[in-house]
Amino acid sequence: MLINLIYSILVLSFILNINNCSPLTLDIIPETEQCIYTEVPIKECVIKYYFNIQDWAYDDEFVDYSIYYIPSDTILNREHRLLKPKNDPEDERQVKLMTKTKQRIGEWQFTADEKGEYKICFLSKKHKIIDLDISHDCELSPYYDMNKNLDQMIDPLADDSVISLKEINDLAVDDKLRLLIENLDDHVNSLRTNLDYYRVRNARNLRTVESTLSRINWFSFGSMVIITSVCFIQVILIKYLFTRGLKTPEKYHKRL
């Protein structure tokens, strides 16, 4: 009985780990915004996301995506779910944190300043299939231990490796830091797009070269066979003609 209980616990833990680590696959319908939600139970959690377009139309490989915050006073413990109906009153309170256009690969992390729901929504003009992984980590948050007295809690120092989207959006338009971050982000995305393009093009060129080499080998082999056959036929034909020419005078002398 104890062994069965331990075995059940191990299997359940394994399944939960798979659910937490495995990416989701979204089938993007053209001109339809589709979203994935994650519920943040406390403040100052770090939300991480990564997506990559796996299948797209031949002339359109980019998507637009936005990140929203939906204030919530209750925790529903829902890690991932699809977009709710458009007339859902809860979505009317959403706040757009950021928007990116013409992206093929995206990876970012930011600090959730408030608890509640955060969602990432994708929009595309044509059909696409996207692999998406979104998660949150609250272990570094000072509010992680909910048993602490709220009066004794103090705000933590900001982590240098994580930048809050709210802080970025609060910067002035002419702020040099914001411009620098946006330029770096654009350059990195452009570099990733170019690297993917060069990788696909190099793979196609390699397949073309291999196909050409294979055709050259078969063409050379076929040419050798044809030349050998023609030479053999020529030898037989010439031998036949000379043999026939030598036999004709003998028959002529016998008649005389």
81-130: pLDDT as tens digits: 444 544 555 566 788 888 888 888 888 888 888 888 899 999 998 888 88
Mean pLDDT of the region 144-153? 50
Is 112 within a domain?
yes
What pLDDT was estimated at residue 27?
A: 86
Q: Which is it for strands 116-123 and 63-71: parallel, antiparallel or unpaired?
A: antiparallel
Instruction: Tell me what pLDDT residue 194 has.
Output: 81
What mean pLDDT is predicted for residues 211-229? 90
Nearest C-alpha neighbor of 34 from the set 124, 134, 118, 95 = 124
Residue 109 lies in a domain: yes
Q: Assign 224 a pLDDT band (cuts: 50, 70, 90).
A: very high
Domains held by the chain: number? 1
Given a cut of 90, whether residue 174 has pLDDT beyond it is: no
Percent pLDDT > 90 in the chain is: 9
CATH of the domain at 45: 2.60.120.680
Phi-psi region of 77 (alpha: psi -120 to 50; beta: other; left: phi over 0): left
* 222 token code pair: 């076929």
Question: Residue 101 in contact with residue 190, Cβ under 8 Å?
Answer: no
Predicted pLDDT at 66: 92
Q: Is 85 exposed, middle or buried (0-12, 13-18, 19+ CB in 10 A)?
A: exposed
In a domain, 13, yes or no: no
Highest mean pLDDT pick, 65-69, 185-189, 194-198: 65-69
At 226, give phi and psi (nearest 5°).
-65, -45
* Tens-digit pLDDT profile for residues 135-147: 888 888 887 765 5
Identify the pLDDT of residue 113: 86
Does any domain span residue 114? yes
Nearest to 134 by CA among 199, 202, 78, 185: 78
Domain that holds residue 97: 23-144+157-170
Q: Classify residue 91 by its DSSP letter.
A: G
Give a yes or no: residue 244 inside a domain.
no
Q: How confident is the model at residue 150 (pLDDT cuts 50, 70, 90)?
A: very low
The amino acid at 145: D
Report the pLDDT value the prediction gives residue 16, as an integer from 0 to 100.
44
Token reading at 56: 């797209």
Least confident among 131-135, 160-164, 179-183, 243-247:
160-164
**Model confidence, pTM:** 0.48
Are the beta carbons of 80 and 24 closer than 8 angstroms?
yes
Asked if the model's pLDDT at residue 232 lies above 50, the reply is yes
* Residue 122, pLDDT score: 92
Q: What's the whole-number mean pLDDT along residues 26-54?
A: 88
Has residue 228 been placed in a domain?
no
